[in-house]
Amino acid sequence: MVRTGRLYQLGPEHRAVAYAFAAARPDQCTFISGWIQEGGLEESPRVPRGWLLAELDALGGIEGLAYISDTGIVMPALTSEVGLQDVATIGRRHANAVRVLVGERAQVSGIWRYMVRNGARARQIRDQAGYLVHRDEFTEQGSLRLEVATASSLDQLVQASADMAREEAQDDPQGRNPVLFRERIRERMLRGRDLIHMDGGRLLFKSNVASVSGSSGQVEGIYTLPAARRLGLGTRGTSAVTRWVLDQAERAFLLVNEDNHPARRLYERLGYREVMKSRTIFVA
């Protein structure tokens, strides 16, 4: 294993033990468990390219994990202060290695504390709540016909994704780099995980599944176009994508902005319960 401070880079030979650790912690590791199961350690094209680092105990067992994507998205599930400091050190030594921090609030804040000492600045900080629903606790709220997005719907999917970023995160990805933003949406679409509702050729509702394993699946990007709101599409669409995940996994997990009270009430009606205080930091 390659060592970075207290963290060790895991390879395909660690798949079983890494998956067992992540699957037992769906509140912090839903994305990681799906990434492992779908071939992330083997660099499968089915999942985003990235690296998995581990904290090890004295006997070589895993105590914590941190996922780092090749686009600089960092998801920590660590246990030690040294591990948090090591992630910040990676960000200092390698340009663009840490562009977005997302995870349990205390861990993200701990990494960020060290990064600020190294001169980092935040473009935006958002607090979220992590919600989890077990298959046996899910309360279906109607149904909406969802289809997997294809190239024919890419233009509308890109626009809806940009509108969502501007509305919910006060971010303008198209303004910063429209070509890169479109390419990232296209790459995600090619994995077959963008689920949309179309009516008369118009995209009205979108969602995507970031990863899924037998343990849990992570729902992201839930958005109803403004012109189609108050018609029940958000409720039925969220119910449908949750059902899609629960047909394959025991649990579904999602993050919601802490101040988005209507969305939180919707998720609670579906059976989701809050399991984590989360924070996302976009590095300037």
Confidence of residue 164 (pLDDT cuts 50, 70, 90): very high
Alpha helices of 24-169 — where are they, by DSSP H? 26-37, 81-93, 105-117, 154-169
Q: Which fold has domain 2-120?
A: Aminopeptidase (3.40.630)
- What is the longest distance spanned by two Cα atoms in the chain? 60
pLDDT at residue number 119: 93
Sign of the Cα torsion 97, 99, 102, 105 reads: positive
Confidence of residue 4 (pLDDT cuts 50, 70, 90): low
pLDDT at residue number 59: 86
Confidence of residue 172 (pLDDT cuts 50, 70, 90): confident
pLDDT at residue number 60: 86
Which whole number is the average pLDDT over 150-162? 96
pLDDT at residue number 3: 55
pLDDT at residue number 113: 97
Is the predicted pLDDT of residue 154 greater than 70, yes or no?
A: yes
User: What is the average pLDDT score of the chain?
Assistant: 94
φ, ψ dihedrals at 82, nearest 5°: -65, -40
Is the predicted pLDDT of residue 68 greater than 80, yes or no?
A: yes
pLDDT one-digit tens code per residue, 116-126: 999 999 999 99
Which whole number is the average pLDDT over 29-58? 94
Is residue 257 within 8 Å of 228, Cβ to Cβ?
Answer: no
pLDDT top residue among 140 and 96: 140
DSSP secondary-structure letter at 232? S
Residue 17 burial (10 A CB sphere; 0-12, 13-18, 19+): middle
pLDDT at residue number 40: 96
Residue 16 burial (10 A CB sphere; 0-12, 13-18, 19+): exposed
Structure tokens belonging to residue 253: 């997990």
Domain 135-276: which CATH class? alpha beta
Strands, E assignment, the chain:
2-4, 7-9, 50-56, 62-69, 73-77, 100-104, 122-134, 147-148, 194-199, 202-212, 216-224, 251-257, 273-283
Amino acid at 135: R
Least confident range of 107-111, 162-166, 215-219 = 162-166
What's the Cα-to-Cα distance from 180 to each of 57, 112, 187, 194, 233, rounded to whole Å? 40, 26, 11, 18, 30
Q: Cα–Cα distance between 152 and 157 in angstroms, integer?
A: 10
- Those residues with Cβ within 8 angstroms of residue 50's Cβ, 6 or more apart along the chain or in another chain: 35, 40, 67, 68, 69, 70, 73
CA atoms within 13 A on the CB side of 192: 4
**Percent of the chain with pLDDT strictly greater than 90:** 88
φ, ψ dihedrals at 250, nearest 5°: -70, -30
Where in the chain are the domains?
A: 2-120, 135-276
Which whole number is the average pLDDT over 222-250? 96
Confidence of residue 169 (pLDDT cuts 50, 70, 90): confident
Residue 53 burial (10 A CB sphere; 0-12, 13-18, 19+): buried
pLDDT at residue number 1: 43
Which whole number is the average pLDDT over 229-248? 96
3-state secondary structure at position 261: helix
Amino acid at 45: P
